[in-house]
Amino acid sequence: MIYLFYLLVYGFLLTAALGLFASWVDRKVTARVQYRIGPPLLQPLIDIVKLMGKETLIPRGASRNTFLLSPVAGLSSVILASALLWVVGLRPGDGFLGDWIVAIYLLTIPSISIIVGGFASGNPLASLGSSREMKLVLAYELPFVLAALVPVIRAGLILRLGDIVVAQQIAGATATSLSGIIALIVAILCVQAKLALVPFDIPEAETEIIHGPLVDYSGSSLALYRLMKNMLLFTLPFFLVILYLGGIRLTGIHILWSVLKYLVLVAIITVIRNTNPRVRIDQALRFFWGPVTILSVIAVVLAVLGL
Amino acid sequence: MSMKLKALLKSPWVFHLSTGSCNNCDIEVLDCLTPRFDIERFGMLLAGSIKHADVLLVTGSCNRMSVERMKRMYEQVPRPCLVVAIGECALSRGMFIHSYNCPVPLDQIIPVDVYIPGCPPKPEAIIAGVVKLIEKVGSKT
């Protein structure tokens, strides 16, 4: 029963509300950076409600079931991942051995659902975007996993997120050490690519392949994809907070700290998105497999040495 | 008013379709998105794909080549959708009224909700037109 409660209330409702709010923060900060006023607070929610009421078109030549089911798969994996992270964040003792691996693969499924949905729609632009997304996943997964290993090594090689949080509460956050800082930088870059935000928005490049994999989606399936992306905008920084910044605590002054940690991460992501041009897919691949992977390997070595 | 329509009027994503205009109206449409006018504060976004759009902004004189494509685009917009004719050419074919290539104005091809005259209309006029569209649809239901 308690798991169902976590899944529905924390995993879905709270994450969706916070994700929509984060997406509003993102749009508002973008607008302010460009000297605009920006959308009202409820705008992301209104967008979702509107898309729910629109007609869902299925293109001729698309494989119908895959086309309609892939957004559902992506959204449900985000809900599962965020429920898991909430359990770990609020009650560190309640995780299970290996939930680090589960969280990482659940956070990969949204990208895979976008790839599958794009190929299923049968649109040439969508398949172009999907193949780019596939290359991007191959590019950022390796440094992301290496960077996520650093807190595990520092917590004494236990693949349990709860123990990572507890170890950080005893010995200070991962990001207070040299290896932790390097790993955090690598992880922020990978999160930027995972969210498909500007330097790495190659799969959905609006100006060249008009939203890539999502080009043929409309109505409620597009709403599910948007909700999924908004929830990822909450879940991924939350994962970084747990891994590197000592998790969250909802007691007294710690509430303020937790919110501040999360907001700083979102602000960094938004500022990176607003001050960079889009790179090409080969440049992104070279960037992630070259300097970023080297940095993450250095971070792992430093963590093993205990720095 | 139904929830559906209310949400639609608060977040109309526009798709911008040129049926052979001289590009002036298109530039004015893009001007609306600049910091000076910033229509994102009304929830409007420029949709890249026609399948994401709610409002079709049509510019240009609807010549014989583009009319077929325009009809096909109109069929692809997920319903409910609204159509706005922008500029003299889309309203009445403007200087091409006697041309062999522009047989009928836009509103005889697809139903048009709001007309925005001007050659090209100013961004203020386009925003005023969209406000009229929202008022019209809001009061009709």
**Phi, psi for residue A125 in degrees, rounded to 5:** -65, -40
Q: Which of A43, A57, A207 minimises the CB distance to B43?
A: A43
| Cβ distance of A39 and B41 shorter than 8 Å | yes
Could you give the CA distance from residue A230 to residue A294 in angstroms, rounded to a whole number? 31
How confident is the model over A1-36, as pLDDT tens digits?
A: 677 777 777 778 888 898 999 899 888 888 888 888
The pLDDT of residue A113 is 92
Radius of gyration of chain A (CA): 19
How confident is the model over B92-103, as pLDDT tens digits?
A: 888 888 888 888
Looking at residue B122, what DSSP letter applies? P
The pLDDT of residue B1 is 59
How confident is the model over A68-112, as pLDDT tens digits?
A: 899 999 999 999 898 888 888 777 777 778 888 888 989 999 999
- Could you list the residue range(s) of the whole structural domain that residue B7 is in? 3-140
Please give the average per-residue pLDDT across A217-235, as a whole number. Answer: 89
Percent of chain A with pLDDT over 90: 20
Q: Record the pTM.
A: 0.89
| Cβ distance of A36 and B41 shorter than 8 Å | yes
Q: How far apart are the first and last CA of chain A?
A: 42
> Could you tell me if A41 lies within 8 Å of chain B, comparing CB atoms?
no
Number of domains comprising chain B: 1
- Which carries the bigger pLDDT value, residue B22 or residue A248? B22
Chain B stretch 30-59, residues whose beta carbon is closer than 8 A to a beta carbon of chain A? 35, 38, 40-41, 43, 48-49, 51-52, 54
| Cβ distance of A218 and B35 shorter than 8 Å | no
How confident is the model over A242-270, as pLDDT tens digits?
A: 888 877 777 777 788 888 888 888 888 88
| Cβ distance of B78 and A56 shorter than 8 Å | yes
> Could you tell me if B1 lies within 8 Å of chain A, comparing CB atoms?
no
Domain ranges of chain A: 2-305
B76: Cβ–Cβ under 8 A, 6 or more apart, which residues?
A57, B50, B51
Cα B68 to Cα B16, B65, B73, B78, B91, distances in angstroms: 16, 6, 9, 18, 18
B139 has a pLDDT exceeding 80: no
Task: Go through chain B and tell me how many residues it has.
Answer: 141
Residue B18 belongs to domain with CATH number: 3.40.50.12280
Is the separation of the CB atoms in A106 and A255 below 8 Å? no
